[in-house]
Amino acid sequence: MRSRYNQAPHLASTALNKTAVTFDDVIAAQARLAGHVEITPCLHSRTLSQITGAEVYLKFENLQFTSSFKERGALNKLFLMSQQQRDKGVIAVSAGNHAQGVAYHAQLLGVPAVIVMPRFSPMVKIERTRGFGAEVVLSGDTFDDAKIEAARLATSRALTMLHPYDDVDVIAGQGTIALEVLAQQPDIDCLCVAIGGGGLISGISVAARHLKPAIDIVGVQTDQFPSMYAAFKGVDMPSANATLAEGIAVKQPGDLTVQIVKRLVNDVVLVSEGDIEQAIVMLLEIEKSVVEGAGATGLAAMMRHRERFIGRKVGLILCGGNIDPMVLADIIERGMVRAGRLARIRVHTRDVPGELARAATLIGQAGANIEEVEHQRAFTTLPVQNAELEFVLQTRGPEHIDEVLRTLQAAGLYATTHPY
C-alpha cells in the first residue's frame, strides 16, 4: 500500500552516514513529520504543581496514534531511506513502542517490516504491532537479548536495521518534541525526560539546548536498569532482569547517545519501581491519563527528588501509554493499598456461631466495605476453639482504617492491620 507520504519531494535523504545530530537536523525532521504525527498538547497541571512544589507542564506524547513518541523517530528514518532499502524491507528490535511506530508507518509506506521483541513484552504492544501488519519475532528476555536475534535476521534477510535510539535520524525525529514544548510553553526552564537507550533525551537536548542554552535537562532511569546513569556518572552498576518500565529496560545505551547526554544533559537521576507505580496512579487519578512505566518516570523523579525541582517550571514528557491492562489493574490495587483505600485487617474471635457475623456488622457500622474475608481455624497459632478472621476492606484512608480497628477493639475483639 502506497500513501501520500511518497508524494512529498522534500523527503529524500542526502546524508545517510552522519554521525552527529544538529539543530538543523531536528528542524528538517519537523518539516518531514508535519501532518503525519500529532502535535500533542503540553498543558499545565495545577494539582501536580501543588503536590511537587514546581510548576508542572505535561507533554502528552501518549496521545500519538501509537500511544508513544517513538513514531516520530521511526517515521523520520523511514522517510530518509532509499527506495531500494524500502523495497527490501526493514527490521527493528523493540520492547514495543518503537515496534509500533515502525510497523504503523512502514505499513502506510508499503514497506515490509520485521519486528523482534523480548518474549515478555506487554501483550498489548505485541498485538498492536501485529495489527499494523508487521512480522513479529519474540526472542530473549530483555531488549539486549532481542538485539542479537535482530542482527542475525537483518544479515540473513538483507533487511535494513532501524535502530530505536542510536541513530542520527531517529534522534532528530525525537527532538521535534522539544520544538513543540518550547513553542507551547516558552517559560519552561527544566525538562525531565525518561532514558532507556537515550534517543529521546538526546534529540530533546540537541533542540532545547540550542533554543534555551541555560535550560536544565534532567534524565531519569529506573534503578533496575541504570545503564545511562552509570555511563553519565562514570561508575559500574549492574542491571536487573525486569522492570515495570520495560520501555526503558536497556542494559547498554547507545554510543552516540552517551556522547550527547554527557555533553548536553545536566543530570541523570534514578527512581525505584515503587516510585514509578505511584506516579502511574497519580497521573491516572489526577490527570485522567493512562501512561506506561517509562512515561511515568518523570513524575516519579519529581516525587523522589523533590528538592531538585522545587520552584522550577518543569516540562514532563509522558512518553508512552502502552501498558498492559492487567498490569495497570495490579498497579491501581497496590496504589489503593499505599493510600489506605484498601486494607487487610486481622481479627481474633472465639470459634462459635455468630462471631463472624458480629465482626462483619461492626465493620459495616464503621463505614468500611468488605471485599474479601477468610475464616481460619487450622493455620493459626491461636488456641483451639479460637479463629482468625482476615478481612480485605475498602476504606477512605489511614484514619478510617484506625477507626475500623477502634470499633472492633471497643467491642472486645483483638484487631490489627495485617503485615504485608
Domain coordinates in residue numbering, the chain: 23-66+170-335, 68-161, 341-417
Task: Specify whether the CB–CB gap between 103 and 93 falls below 8 A.
Answer: no
| Domain 68-161 sits in CATH 3.20.20.110 | no
Cell, residue 365: 457500622
Q: Put residue 133 in one of left, alpha, beta given phi > 0 → left and psi -120 to 50 → alpha.
A: left
The CB-side HSE value for 104 (13 A sphere, CA atoms) comes to 25
Pairing of strands 386-394, 135-138: unpaired
Nearest to 33 by CA among 159, 156, 226, 180: 180
Distance (Å, rounded) from C-alpha 257 to C-alpha 379? 56
Task: Specify whether the CB–CB gap between 331 and 373 falls below 8 A.
Answer: no
Task: Specify whether the CB–CB gap between 130 and 106 falls below 8 A.
Answer: no
341-417 to CATH, choices 3.30.70.260, 3.40.50.300, 3.20.20.70, 3.40.50.360: 3.30.70.260
Per-residue pLDDT tens digits of the chain, which is 420 residues long: 334 455 333 333 334 456 689 999 999 999 999 999 999 999 999 999 999 999 999 999 999 999 999 999 999 999 999 999 999 999 999 878 999 999 999 999 999 999 999 888 888 888 889 999 999 999 998 878 888 999 999 999 999 999 999 999 999 999 999 999 999 999 999 999 999 999 999 999 999 999 999 999 999 999 999 999 999 999 999 999 889 999 899 999 999 999 999 999 999 999 999 999 999 999 999 999 999 999 999 999 999 999 999 999 999 999 999 998 999 999 999 999 999 999 999 999 999 999 999 999 999 999 999 999 999 888 888 888 899 999 999 999 999 999 999 999 999 999 999 765
Task: Specify whether the CB–CB gap between 55 and 314 falls below 8 A.
Answer: yes
In degrees and rounded to multiples of 5, residue 158 shows phi and psi of 55, 45
Distance (Å, rounded) from C-alpha 127 to C-alpha 104? 12
Same fold, 23-66+170-335 and 341-417: no
| Domain 23-66+170-335 sits in CATH 3.40.50.1100 | yes
Diameter of the chain measured on Cα atoms: 85
